[in-house]
Structure 1
Amino acid sequence: AGAEVILYGEEAADQDTAIIAHIGKPPHELGYPRLSRAQVRRLAQSSKPWLLRDPGQAEPPAAPAQSGLGLTVPLLHGDEVTGMITLAREAPGERYGEADAQLLQLMGFQMSLSALQARMRQRLLDAFQDLQRANLSAVQALFAALETRDRYTHDHSERVSRFAHWLGERLGLPDGQLEALRIAGLLHDIGKLGVSDGTLYKNSQLNDEEREHIKRHPTMGARILAGMEAFAEALPIVRHHHERYDGKGYPDGLAGEAIPFGARLLAVVDAFDSLISDRPYRPAMPLREALRRLREGAGTQWDRALVEAWCALVTEREDEILGMLGVQP
């Protein structure tokens, strides 16, 4: 068996100027020819952006295979193809299937980010070895990618996940919905992996173009999670957590109860945590001021009943929330 990561250089026309790292035998020595950069780009644009194949296959088939001894997945950063990862087994080995391809695709997001930021062979190899150990769930892998890219978004998402779970428990939601809220809280901003650093880390107000770019992150997040059965209940929460109760939100302009309940709930706790957190362009608000802002927007920006339920819960757990922020009660 063998495995290989190819990371294209910024000006690379094809593999000749790419970084290559492998574990075990390189797949091409096992009968799996390396795909060209053009082939990888076409693969990334297909409905099933992975290649399952057997030894000797050099071209992706017209109809995607359901299984194969070899598996290739493009590495992406936003819409940019940054490389590919290939796992290969010799016959008569266990065959990879679409579930393996989906998991490898998720791991690829983490690896692509680490490699793009580091541009270092050892960093790439470390990420690849993490994949080989396969000791991360898909959620953990995506959440780790957030930490690699943006520590604020990572910590914010962790708190939002906890807050959403608290509010769901207070409302008596069943375990399945609580788990969907927990996952959606962790991954609601995963679409920001596709937002440029210049926009994400800007210290001043965003211009119109940058604002529109940021506003794409819910749909980009939903696209990342699409097709994964484990994320089926979390996906609409991720997609719709920036809708407004009055219908003036995004991406779909849903209003009132047309917005999925989990998304309405997450919108409240997401806004609350943003208000009480330090940002490059403004300091954190005191808890009482943040609650006042939420009540001001109840019925227009947020679901009024959920705002009131959250405000009551914050009052009860104020010391615990301040402790999470590192503030002495």
Structure 2
Amino acid sequence: MPAADAQDVAAVLSELLARPSSGSILERALTHALTLLDDQANAYAVLRRGPDRVVAVVGYPQSLIGTPLSGPWAGSKPRLLRDGTREIYEMNTTDVQEQLDACGMRGLPLTLVVPLSDRGRGLGALVFDRTSTEGITPEQQEAVARWATAVAPLLGVIDSRDEWRQTARQITSAFVEAVESQEFDALGHGQAVADLAVRLGRAVGLVEREQEELWYAALLHDIGKIHGEVGHPQVGANFLHGVPHLAQAQKAIRHHHERWDGQGEPDGLSGEDISLYARILAVANAYVRSGNLEQVRGQAGKALDPRLVGLLEKLPQDR
């Protein structure tokens, strides 16, 4: 591979690694692969987690994402379907065929299917439908296959990260329940606050990674009570000392007893000097403890951020 091409691929791979999800990785992977096909194709990516599903598209409508789709991607080698999309149509139900029709996929003359696999495990496929009358040369097929080989391990990393994230959540939840079980009326409190805090965070506009950190802050906000009620926010915050990716969660735990009017503790912070996560946590905590929206509304502008209380009022209420 020429040095310039190698640098281009390295740059794209670096960008892929910075992306947080399989869908975003595969969308960028499709975009780069299309340049290898002179951009004369539409493309989609299929991921094999449970039922095979479309998770990324380029050139096709976004409505195709999420569609369960069967196809000839169980093998390990690229396939050129010279009858185009016909084989894929035949492998799917009438309902799915209608979705494909709506996306303009019927009758396309040539399809290239490039499986994605990591250490022998089939992960899915990149699929390219020619939109011109030109063929796909062996050199183009080889270039796309090499690119797919480079991308596939990144999906393995994402899978591992998601598995570890789920495991970390389960361990954290179990630990919190063990602490909460010491108080009869506390069991499940952390999870309830975490669920509501994430809903508030989403309403504020927090992205997925921020929602994840907020979840940890909310679930762990009372963990300091393992050493008693007095000073538990500071004690709880200390549990996250030395965990850089939860630095904002640590701050939220420390300050979730601050008040909007500055009369809280431990540092007497007021207004927006209190971190956003801590203010969200305070509102969620107040509502879960009281179960009374009117009571929480009465604390707006006093103990609680009035804007966040307003957002709470707009959320569908479970109680």
Whether these two folds match at TM > 0.5 is no
Q: Which has the larger radius of gyration?
A: 2
State the TM-score, normalized to the length of structure 2: 0.45
